[in-house]
Amino acid sequence: VLTAVEMGMKNHDLVPTPLIIRIAGLKKGGGRKVIGLLHKNKLIVHENKAYDGFRLTYLGYDYLALKTFVARNQLAGIGRKIGIGKESDIYECIDNEGVERVLKVHRLGRICFRSVKSKRDYLGKRNHASFLYMARLSAVREFAYMKALYDHGFPTPVPIDQNRHCVLMSKVNAFPFGNIKELINPHIVYSNLMNIIVRLAEHGLIHCDFNEFNLMISTDGVVTMIDFPQMISTNHVNAKFYFDRDVQCVKDYFRRKFHFCSEDSPAFQVDTETIISLDKELVASGHKVQQQEQEHYEEYLNLKAEHSLENREEEDDEDDQKVQLADGGDEVSAGHSA
């Protein structure tokens, strides 16, 4: 029945009860009983506006995705939530062999993104599209970029599987870069981060949100990139702006957090000669959405980038109010975020 609601939402904001029963192939009495049970457990929600109908909730969408992962023998159990962002939740999980993995569940439509459809021409003529649809689109794109980057030797988690709005990946033995208090060799880490930005550009891509919130670092200083839906091509009309902003984000963070300043930084189209057009390769592999959908998605990416910039500015204000600590020994201090 949940699958029937999902299918009906392709061209309905609210799926009428008779249509759900017809798609699910159930008898009228039994169908209404199942629908009532799903509604009671908040897997679907009932609305009676223009007409009477139901739509999936994120909880119902979660169930469909998890059921698919289990059927593919990719998932055996879900653990605690290890991260939460403005547009996703991160969970620990295990596969059938007991290997720890990470499940990223995209949840567009909360906090600042809730007003996108009302304040911007986000969906164009797709009046039936929902945040569930955009969350799925975001997950598809993130998995595509992660797989392409991993295959070309970039430091990313191992992409395992993707279904609907969920991305399954390997667990990285590292800490959020924003939780690190001190670095033994900040100049080495700084150089490695700049090299990653340049390598991405040489492969035809710009991260667009390259900051401490989207980086992991191990105790021995190995950096891992995360969060890829916002990546764009170096042929984008605003490619130089986003490239320079990624570089500046790293410089500002090292200056503010580790009191490390460097004049050495890459320049777009000077240090970034394209070697491999990875953006075109992704199109060839069938992960490109239709042109109209891509325009709408880019508008969401711009909004996400603006929000990340506001978060960093707020952190700058908070750091200015903190008491400066005395110089200590060179050691790395890190901790998990709950």
Q: Which region, left, alpha or beta, applies to residue 68 given φ > 0 means left and ψ of -120 to 50 means alpha?
A: alpha
Q: Is 188 exposed, middle or buried (0-12, 13-18, 19+ CB in 10 A)?
A: exposed
Residues that are catalytic: 209
**Which backbone phi and psi does 196 adopt, to 5 degrees?**
-65, -45
**Which backbone phi and psi does 70 adopt, to 5 degrees?**
-65, -40
The per-residue DSSP string of 227-272 comes to --TT-EETTSTTHHHHHHHHHHHHHHHHHHHH----S----TTTS-
- Contact between 224 and 174 under an 8 Å Cβ cutoff? The reply is yes
Strand-pair partners of 169: 102, 159
- Contact between 102 and 170 under an 8 Å Cβ cutoff? The reply is yes
CA dihedral 329, 186, 147, 101 (to 10 degrees): 10
Nearest Cα to 219, choosing from 335, 61, 56? 335
